[in-house]
Structure 1
C-alpha cells in the first residue's frame, strides 16, 4: 500500500487549478495552504517516513485535500456569481461568526442535485489538524462549507433559493439542532416502537432547513419546491411537500405547526439563537422590476427578499407590462434584474467600506 498514485493525481489537480481566479483572498489563501500541506506530505513520502500504521490517515487527508480542490474549482468568479455566494454569507454570519469558514460550491451534471455535503464536519477537521501537527506539518486554516448545485442552474437566481435551504442544513449539522430536538423529545419517554428514529431525524432536518430559508426569503423556497416536486409523496429522507409548505406558511404567519417550531425554538434558545423573520417585506406591485429596471436595495434584509420578489413577479400574470412577452424572455428579464439588483447592492456596500 502506498500513496504514490494519489499524490501524483493531486499534483495534477493543483497544476490544473493554479490559474483559478477567486472572488476573495480567503480562497487564494486556502489554495496556498492546501498546497503547503500537500508538498509536506509529498516530501515525507519521498523520504520514506510514512509509517504503515499512518498510511490510511494520510490517504484520508490527501482525499480531503482533493475534495477541497474540486470545490474550489467550482467556486471561481467565472463559474459561480459572487452575488449568490455573498447573499448566503450574510445569512451564515447571523448564525456562525467564523472567518475561517469558506462557502464553496460544486457543480453537478444532475439537474436535481442540490445538497449539502456533511461528511467533513468540524470534529473531523479538528482531528485532521491534530494529526498534521503531530507530524510537524502545518495546519489547514480554512474549512469549506460544501454545497452542490446543478451546473445548468449556477446562474439561475430562481433556483438559488434552494441554497438557503442547503445552508440551513450546514447550520443544523454544526449545532446538531435536530438531534437535540429528538433527544429532548424522548428524554422522558421512549418513542413508539413503530417509530423509525432515523426517518424522524431526517424529517426534522428538512423542517429546520425549510424554516432557516424562510427567515430570509419568505416562502420563495416553497414556490420553488412546488415548481420542482412531482406529486405529494414522502420518502425515508423527506416529508410530504404539502407538510413542508404548511410548516413554512405557519412560521411566516407567526404560528406553530404540530409543536415543531416550538421544539426548535427551545433548543435554539440554549445557544442564544432563534428562528425569526430576517427579511424586509416590500410590496410586489411597487417593484421596479415591472418597469424593467433593478431594485434599489438599502439593507441586507431587503437583499434577501429580492429572491421572493423575483418569484412573485414570475408567477404574476396580471401585470400589463409583461403582456405579450414570451415566457422565456420574461424569465431572462427577471433573472437578469435579480442579478443586477444584488450586484449593485454589493458594489455600493463595498465602495462605502
Structure 2
C-alpha cells in the first residue's frame, strides 16, 4: 500500500536532490537529452495532487520516483566535473562492436566509496516496463537506456585500475545477448544426457569443480537455477570480453586484490582459473571450456560476432619521453592501457635516461605521469577523430 503522504515525502526528497542536479552538464548530447526528459518529468510530477490518486496510480508514481532517483545516481557522476570522458569513450567504442547502430545505450557511472566496488547495475538498461510506464502516464519518451557502471570514487582517474571497466561492460553485453545463459542451458542439457566426453568433462571440472555433483543436475531437472554455475559462466565471459581489448591487464589488478585466490565463491571462480581462462584465449590454445564461450558468442549473435583480439599493438617510447602517444586508430586506443601497464610493471629508468634527469622519479610521480599521459593520448585521438569527421 502506498500512502499519499509518504509519496509526498518521497517526491519532496526527490525535488531536493533534483535542485542540485538540474543544472548538470554532460559531455555528449544524448546524456543532455536524457537529462532534459528528467526535467520534464519532474515538472509533471510537481503539479500533481497525489491525494486525488487511487492506489494503483500512487504506486505508479512511486515507481517513477524510484526511477528518477536511480537515474540521478548515475548521471550525477557522469558530468564533465566527475568521470573523465576519455575512459567512457573507450568503453563506448568497445560497445559499438557488440550492439546494432539503431540501439541507443548510454554508458553512465556512479562513484562509490568502496575501493573494490567495480560493478554493473542492470536496472535501467533492460527495464522496458518503467520506460513504457513513464510514456503512458506522462507521454515522455526516453530514447536512450542507461548502462550503469559503479567504480570507486578514489580511482575515477586511475586508468590502470579502470581497465576493470571493460569487464563490467562485458556484463552488459552478456545480459543483452544471453551468452552465459545459453552456455548454462546447453551445458546442463548435455550433462543430463551424458553427452560430454570424459576428457572434456575433466577439463570442465578444472574450471567448475562442482560440475559432477549429482545435486547440480537434480536442481536443473527440477527447474531450479544453479546460481553458482550461472555466476561463474558470466564472470568467465566478462574476463574474456575484456581481454579482447586490454590483453591481460585486468589480471594484474585482480591477482593483487584477491591474493592469487585458488578457491571459488558462490559468485566468482577462483582467481587462478580466471587468469588461466584468459591466458588460454590470448595464447590461442585449445580448450573445451573456452570453446563453449566461443561457440555461444557465435550462436547468440547469429555468427556475426566472435571472441577475438580487438586491440592493435604499437611500439613507442613516447611516455618515457613524457609525451602522449599518437594513436592511429581505435584498436590502438584500447592497447594504450596495456602499454601503460607495461611501463608501470617494468623498469622506470627510461624516464630518467631519455630526459637527462639528474634524479630518479618516485612511484607517485610515475603513477601520475602514466595516468596523465594515457588520458592525454586518448583525448588527443578523440579530438583528431572528431575533427576529421567534421572536415569530411
State the TM-score, normalized to the length of structure 1: 0.93
Do the aligned residues in 2 keep the contact of 1:279 with 1:304 (CA within 8 Å)?
yes
The secondary structure found in structure 1 opposite 2:108 is: strand
1:37 aligns with 2:41: yes
Deviations 1:195-217 (A, max 9, x none): 38210111111111101110011
1:279 aligns with 2:311: yes
Deviations 1:166-199 (A, max 9, x none): 0001111112210111111122443743438210
State the TM-score, normalized to the length of structure 2: 0.84
Deviations 1:45-75 (A, max 9, x none): 3275532123223212210111101211100
Distance across 2 between alignment mates of 1:239 and 1:47: 49
Larger radius of gyration: 2
Among 290, 298, 308, the residue aligned to 1:269: 298
The secondary structure found in structure 2 opposite 1:160 is: helix
Note the aligned Cα RMSD (angstroms): 1.9
Distance across 1 between alignment mates of 2:245 and 2:352: 27
Do the aligned residues in 2 keep the contact of 1:180 with 1:267 (CA within 8 Å)?
yes
Distance across 2 between alignment mates of 1:261 and 1:62: 43
Deviations 1:209-245 (A, max 9, x none): 1011100111111122123223413211111111111
The secondary structure found in structure 2 opposite 1:290 is: coil
Cα distance change on mapping 1:295 and 1:8 into 2, 3 Å: same
Moved more, 207-216 or 99-108: 99-108
Among 21, 25, 28, the residue aligned to 1:17: 21
* 1:64 aligned residue: 67
Distance across 2 between alignment mates of 1:47 and 1:202: 42
TM-aligned CA deviation for residue 100 of structure 1? 2.5
Cα distance change on mapping 1:87 and 1:176 into 2, 3 Å: same
Distance across 2 between alignment mates of 1:260 and 1:120: 32
Deviations 1:304-353 (A, max 9, x none): 00000000110112744357221111111111111111111111111111
* 1:242 aligned residue: 272
Among 69, 86, 91, the residue aligned to 1:88: 91
Distance across 2 between alignment mates of 1:63 and 1:331: 39
Cα distance change on mapping 1:47 and 1:110 into 2, 3 Å: closer
The secondary structure found in structure 2 opposite 1:208 is: helix
TM-aligned CA deviation for residue 139 of structure 1? 2.5
Distance across 2 between alignment mates of 1:68 and 1:322: 47
Deviations 1:269-320 (A, max 9, x none): 131211111000224xx43112221111000000000000000110112744
Among 176, 186, 189, the residue aligned to 1:187: 189
Distance across 2 between alignment mates of 1:298 and 1:174: 30
1:115 aligns with 2:94: no
Deviations 1:124-151 (A, max 9, x none): 2x21233234335322222111000011
Do the aligned residues in 1 keep the contact of 2:260 with 2:272 (CA within 8 Å)?
no
1:160 aligns with 2:162: yes
Do the aligned residues in 2 keep the contact of 1:37 with 1:137 (CA within 8 Å)?
no
Deviating 4+ runs (over 4 angstroms): none
* 1:5 aligned residue: 9
Among 313, 321, 326, the residue aligned to 2:351: 321
Do the aligned residues in 2 keep the contact of 1:178 with 1:201 (CA within 8 Å)?
yes
- Written as runs of structure 1 = structure 2, the 5 A alignment for 1:131-146 is 131-146=133-148
Moved more, 131-140 or 162-171: 131-140
Distance across 2 between alignment mates of 1:332 and 1:82: 18
Do the aligned residues in 2 keep the contact of 1:161 with 1:220 (CA within 8 Å)?
yes
Distance across 1 between alignment mates of 2:55 and 2:296: 44
Distance across 1 between alignment mates of 2:155 and 2:50: 46
Among 220, 241, 244, the residue aligned to 1:215: 244
1:343 aligns with 2:387: no
